[in-house]
Amino acid sequence: MAFIFRIAMQSVGLSLSLLGWVLAIITTYLPHWKNLNLELNEMENWTMGLWKSCVIQEEVGRQCKDFDSFLALPAELQISRILMSLSNGLGLLGLLASGSGLDCLRLGETQKDLKRRLLILGGLLLWTSGVMVLVPVSWVAHMTVEEFWDETLPEIVPRWEFGEALFLGWFAGFCLVLGGCLLHCAACSSPAPPASGRYAVTGLQDHETYLENRTTQPKV
């Protein structure tokens, strides 16, 4: 029963981590971290991501342009680029490590300790990847709120608002963190090796045989 529960925990953790990793990649390249709606021209909307900004017009459609310089970006977008890229790389390594350490795989059945270490390493990498998604998403959201309620700007100046990518990033980070925790807990809750039980039964049988031989021997 404990083995089945551990297998289920590993499967759920790996599935959540895979889902979070895919959503984190989509969040990284989605140009909807910020949205800007112009009150003077309701037919034109602006969106901004980590790599480019886009303008959406009803007559023309979507037109996007990549940022010319990395150094010209605000600090939150610069750090977000780096953290999201590192998160995607760590997530891939975590998936490979934890996938190799699953108990349901017959590969490396004789190396239980190695598979357990791979599972722990994969869980830690995925947890770190989730945190590295939540940090830039929350930072950009914080800066957006501060700029939105900035009283020094005139009211006529349009304000940036939350884009869809921020909510997607929060969900992706939550899935990665939860999946990494489940994989780590499943690895730490491994039972005692089954071989110990066999040796215990064998030792008990040898002890009974020894007692029987002593009782059957005649006394001199």
Model pLDDT, residue 219: 47
> How many other C-beta atoms lie within 10 A of the C-beta of residue 180?
27
Q: How far apart are CA 115 and CA 102, in angstroms?
A: 7
Q: How far apart are CA 186 and CA 15, in angstroms?
A: 14
At 128, the amino acid letter reads: T
Model pLDDT, residue 193: 47
Model pLDDT, residue 184: 87
**Positions in the chain short of pLDDT 70:** 1, 39-42, 106-110, 190-220
For residue 218 the two structure tokens come to: 């005649």
Q: How far apart are CA 2 and CA 48, in angstroms?
A: 48
Model pLDDT, residue 189: 74
Residues 6 or more apart whose Cβ sits within 8 Å of residue 128: 90, 94, 180
Model pLDDT, residue 50: 95
Model pLDDT, residue 201: 45
**Sheet bearing 61-66, strands edge to edge:** 61-66, 52-57, 44-48, 34-37, 161-162
Residues 6 or more apart whose Cβ sits within 8 Å of residue 219: none
